[in-house]
């Protein structure tokens, strides 16, 4: 087993770890020597992955079946973490399984999506981020979607929740950067995951040819983490592409606002 290739360890917490990009993150981090806490709703694939990675890489893998939409999900996860030093948090859960117009699904479905994508994610960032700031070391990856940049039919609540995550992640990046903690919003397009395949199959739709591969997503996400706050999948740092602004332009904007706020506070002192 090699030493850690990323300076965040020793533990990584991955939400949505049982398959797809979450599984790819877990495999890469286990290979780098991380101890893992794996979270997802389905027990069987999660337990199987934990046993597989533990045996293959001789590392410790804890797992828990947690529905991140539950009001007490963050508290349960915090209790599971205990006093372990969680150096890396990857928020990978939060797909929209509905694909319907807002009024065509029960409000409870949308409330659960907001609980999963907003409330639990925010609480975990707060709990884990405080400990990282105190240690002056850590990393947070919020796996997002290009839907964060605007609403569309069938994507209203999902897009709104991802827009919240983007704004929170950018603010966290600016606030935690002076304390040695890296934050990245990894903004994805369509990715070849089992969840997407199930969704397309349920609607009789063909699999697109231009999908990102989960292992590539995990590799790029970990590579770009030190260069937050945003990485747009498939685009260079200064390339705008499908986003309203390039990642570099968003970074410059946040830094300019942060400096203006410091200047304002200094002027009022």
Q: Which residues are catalytic?
A: 158, 162
Q: Which residues, 6+ apart, have CB-to-CB distance to 58 below 8 Å? A: 1
Cα-to-chain-centroid distance, residue 58? 25
Of 16, 53, 8, the closest CA to residue 31 belongs to: 53
Query: In this structure, what token pair is assigned to residue 88?
Result: 């890396």
Strands 86-91 and 11-15: parallel
Give CA–CA dist 158/42, Å, rounded. Answer: 22
- Region label for 150, one of left (φ > 0), alpha (ψ between -120 and 50) or beta (otherwise): left
Of 8, 73, 72, the closest CA to residue 36 belongs to: 8
Sheet architecture: strand order including 11-15 = 61-65, 35-40, 11-15, 86-91, 138-145, 181-188, 230-232
Question: Cβ distance 12 to 37 under 8 Å?
Answer: yes
**Cis check: omega of the bond before 17, within 30 degrees of 0:** no
Residue with the two structure tokens 């994610």 = 121
């Amino acid at each position: 087993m090699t030493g850690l290739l990323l300076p965040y360890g020793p533990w990584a917490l991955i939400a949505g770890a049982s398959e797809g990009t979450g599984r790819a993150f877990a495999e890469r981090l286990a290979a780098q020597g991380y101890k893992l806490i794996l979270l997802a709703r389905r027990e069987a694939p999660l337990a199987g992955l934990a046993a597989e990675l533990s045996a293959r890489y001789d590392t410790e893998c804890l797992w828990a079946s947690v529905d991140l939409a539950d009001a007490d999900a963050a508290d349960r996860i915090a209790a599971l973490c205990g006093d372990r030093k969680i150096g890396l948090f990857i928020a990978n859960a939060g797909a929209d399984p509905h694909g319907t117009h807002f009024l065509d699904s029960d409000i409870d479905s949308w409330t659960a999506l907001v609980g999963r994508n907003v409330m639990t994610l925010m609480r975990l960032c707060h709990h884990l981020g405080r400990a990282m700031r105190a240690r002056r070391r850590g990393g947070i990856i919020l796996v997002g979607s290009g839907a964060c940049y605007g609403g569309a039919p069938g994507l209203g609540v999902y897009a709104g929740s991802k827009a919240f995550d983007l704004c929170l992640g950018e603010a966290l990046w600016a606030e935690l950067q002076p304390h040695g903690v890296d934050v990245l919003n990894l903004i994805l397009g369509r990715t070849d995951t089992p969840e997407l395949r199930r969704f397309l199959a349920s609607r009789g739709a063909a699999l697109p040819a231009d999908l990102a591969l989960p292992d590539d997503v995990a590799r790029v996400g970990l590579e770009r983490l030190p260069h937050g706050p945003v990485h747009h999948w498939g685009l260079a740092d200064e390339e705008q592409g499908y986003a309203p602004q390039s990642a570099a332009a968003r970074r410059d904007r946040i830094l300019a606002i942060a400096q203006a706020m410091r200047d304002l506070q200094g002027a009022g002192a």
